[in-house]
Structure 1
Amino acid sequence: MKKKFRKRIAEDIPTLVYFYATWCVPCKLMRPIVEQVAGELGTAISSIEIDVEIKKGIVKRYKIKGVPTLILFKSGTALWRHTGVMPVEDIRIAIKEHL
């Protein structure tokens, strides 16, 4: 997964990475919001979900201290990051600034 993950975030198309945990109630609230934004933006972005309990190496590398965390990558660089629940419109605005 690490190689696949690095390849995805290195693409020219922005990649929204959603870090979550299955036991996290706020993560359950964020999942449909993230899916909605990814669906609305279609091919303008790609998205990945990372379970912090399973992909601990990736979590450590990007210093994920809380969930849910969203990071927008493009060409391997983190362009934007947010931890916690966030309204759908705020996510749209943040992502569109980097398209």
Structure 2
Amino acid sequence: MSKFLEFINQDKPVLIDFFATWCGPCQTMSPILKQVKDDLGESVKILKIDVDKNKALANKFQVRGVPTFILFNKGKQVWKQSGLITKSDLKHIILKNQN
């Protein structure tokens, strides 16, 4: 948990993708997340967290369905959404929450 807190306390937006390997929509989001990372580069960090392997963390952030995305800025949760999201919407949300 302390490594996670350290990770989200960066000076750039940090997007957490709570996913499950058996989840179809999660698999759909995987290439979209890669494209977002490719487009935004070092201006954002993206971390994928398997809810089946990290139940305590998923519970802490009240993840009830997958995929669930949570965006942190300087350690503070600024946005959360479950389900599919388009690349352009995701990029817009990340860029809007840069400082």
- TM-score for both structures, normalised by structure 2: 0.94
Give the match for residue 87 of structure 1. Answer: 86
1:45-68 superposed Cα distances (whole Å, 9 cap, x missing partner)? 111000000011110100000100
Structure-to-structure mapping, 1:8-19, within 5 angstroms: 8-19=7-18
Quote the residue 2:77 is aligned against. Answer: 78
Alignment of structure 1 residues 14-93 onto 2, 5 Å: 14-93=13-92
> Displacement, 1:75?
1.5
Aligned sequence identity (%): 37
Q: Once the two structures are superposed, what CA deviation does each residue of 1:30-84 show, in whole Å capped at 9, x if it has no partner?
A: 0111111012111111110000000111101000001001111011111111100
Equivalenced residues, count: 98
* Cα deviation 1:2-48 (Å, max 9, x = unaligned): 22111011111111101100000000000111111012111111110
User: 5+ unaligned residues in a row in structure 2: which ranges?
Assistant: none
**Structure 1 residues without counterparts, runs of 5 or longer:** none
State the Cα RMSD in Å.
0.8
Structure 1 runs of 4+ with >4 Å offset: none
